[in-house]
Chains A and B, each alone.
Chain A
């Protein structure tokens, strides 16, 4: 059964653009054009996640969010906003959003973040001491990384980066997700800092003859996994 996403967005073009993308990605989509309708539909238990615009007619997005949370509905909410400053993000998160994305955004970014939210919902439970993707293994206690029988020596920052990737195996993670998730850095640096991090890490993970593990996903980000 496909997961169902509620899009609360008053701009029809944006809503249609998101809906088409989600549909292609295999999600079921519900749409609301006003805050009031959105609030009404959010109480539907069949909704798995909500994409909520901040500026809505009739009822502001933050007010909808507050009402949803006050009603005890824990459905993950991704807040969309035209305001891209750190304060708007913090305000959104304080109001109970699970993630925040500034407009304009790449659909790839939205999709990657949405999938992260949906997966976060069904957490693994229990402390994890080892992470693994294909023949790549990370021992979190000994802080050692091995590919097959080969030990890989990583700098602390490379270790943090790889740990984040290993915790999201076979998922697309974007540059901004890495900046936020690994370094708690909420600003898009002008330079290609993440690309350099990734290419350094990739050189250590993939020696000659080994199948590629760390893939670049065009227009979106990176993915750790075989093929």
Chain B
């Protein structure tokens, strides 16, 4: 193989080339089998026809023998030879083998006792060539030999072989060409996809594999790959948003902290400055923890910690925690849910999500009188609803409110508001809902905001491996 030029070697090594060659070889094998069977069938047909002719002639001669003995047979042979020319070998011979009648000088050399045999015959009244010969013994030591020239049959067989060879000569290059063409076509379609993959791995996430809408295997492959790329691009852009958002939002508490440290270094530390520094630090930690938590929930980490939970109890406990704070703002926080709503869920995360929703309402529902936590059974699980009677969010802004670092008021939050105000609060709610296989829906409470968390009772699809990202 080492003698092969590199290009050919590569070509042979390519699995598509090997596939094409294998297909071609199989095709050729099938064609050869078909032709061989045509040849054999033709040969048999020709031989059978020769035999039939010989037997017919012999039967006629036997009838003459029975009717009038050797005299009658001689008459018949002479009449027959006059009629059919030199294609038949006929001989009536006596016990010594010398001719009594016929166009053979005597019993030919090499004649055996078998009935059927193939002999080369020649004679003055006989076309030279191969003959199919039938030997019949008669009474009184006489023997009758009937032969049929097989040259015509051989010529026919030769014609068949020639036709087969001609068709092979056409078929082989055509089949080889077709196989190569098909191989090249499929390689071209695969290479379209692989060029996209190359572009993507070198950083261009916007490239997509071309589709022809035929819904064949290649087209479906391109579709699946494009869907995967859409998801990847979404994740990457979300990651970018998070990184940029975190960097931006961490900057303000860290800058403030830097300033306060500087002032503390300059003179006697003021307890109030130290307190402010501590809460700046807490803010930074909370932001990082929440961002990490969202990423983990998005990745489905923690599904192994689902437990059957009474939703009414969960709502009552959560309302309990926030009720005094709400009261101080003149807002009544009410939990009302029917008993018996039990579904498997991640209790700490759902409670945190509820807390975020409540804090969001407390912070943004200016002028609200009531915040209601409620729950009801749905077709596939439970819907938990946090509703207020504040100003609400206009429909066009609702999607943004659920995005990480999606802030409805660009100016707000610049002072490094806590998690809820950083645009992380509702994003966590949304991530937790998705982790449960559900979603979050923002609607109008007429008036106010109605936030519905849909939690299906069925376990979400197979949990991703619970490998935590390495965080040190």
Contact = CB atoms under 8 A, between A and B. Distances in A.
Interface of A: 55, 82-90, 102, 104, 156-157, 160, 179, 183-193, 196-197, 200, 219
Given A183-B317, A184-B317, A104 B285 contact: yes
A83 B292 CA distance: 9
B27 interface: no
B319 to A, nearest CB: 9
Contact of A187 (B305, B320, B346, B355): B355
Contact of A87 (B285, B302, B318, B471): B302
A102 B328 CA distance: 31
B419 interface: yes
A87 B296 contact: yes
B325 A193 contact: yes
Contacts of B323: 157
Given A187-B351, A192-B325, A219-B278, 17 more contacts: A83-B292, A86-B302, A86-B349, A86-B352, A90-B348, A102-B289, A104-B281, A157-B320, A183-B317, A185-B351, A187-B348, A188-B282, A189-B359, A190-B359, A191-B418, A193-B324, A196-B328
B325 A191 contact: yes
A34 B270 CA distance: 39
27 contacts: A83-B468, A85-B296, A86-B346, A86-B348, A86-B352, A89-B348, A90-B305, A102-B289, A156-B320, A160-B320, A183-B317, A183-B320, A184-B347, A185-B321, A185-B348, A185-B351, A186-B351, A187-B348, A187-B355, A188-B286, A189-B322, A189-B359, A190-B359, A190-B418, A191-B359, A192-B325, A219-B278
A197 B349 contact: no
Contact of A84 (B289, B320, B325): B289
B422 to A, nearest CB: 9
Contacts of A85: 289, 292-293, 296, 302
Q: Which of A85, A90, A157, A219 has the most C-beta atoms of chain B within 10 angstroms of its own C-beta?
A: A85
Summarize B's interface: helix, strand, loop or mixed: helix
Nearest to B319: A157
B285 to A, nearest CB: 6
Nearest to A201: B324
Q: Which of B296, B321, B346, B362 has the most C-beta atoms of chain A within 10 angstroms of its own C-beta?
A: B321
B7 interface: no
B468 A88 contact: yes
A185 B301 contact: no
B102 interface: no
Q: Which of A55, A186, A189 has the most C-beta atoms of chain B within 10 angstroms of its own C-beta?
A: A189
Contacts of A189: 321-322, 355, 359
Contacts of B292: 83-85
Contacts of A191: 325, 359, 362, 418
A185 to B, nearest CB: 6
A219 B278 CA distance: 9
A104 B421 CA distance: 22
Contact of A186 (B325, B348, B359, B419): B348
Contacts of B281: 104
B472 interface: yes
Contacts of B359: 189-191
Nearest to B347: A184
Nearest to B302: A87
B8 to A, nearest CB: 55
A85 B420 CA distance: 17
Contacts of A83: 292, 468, 471
A192 B348 CA distance: 19
Interface string B320-361: 111111001000000000000000001111011001000100
Nearest to B466: A87
Nearest to A106: B278
A196 B324 CA distance: 6
Contact of A185 (B282, B286, B355, B418): B355
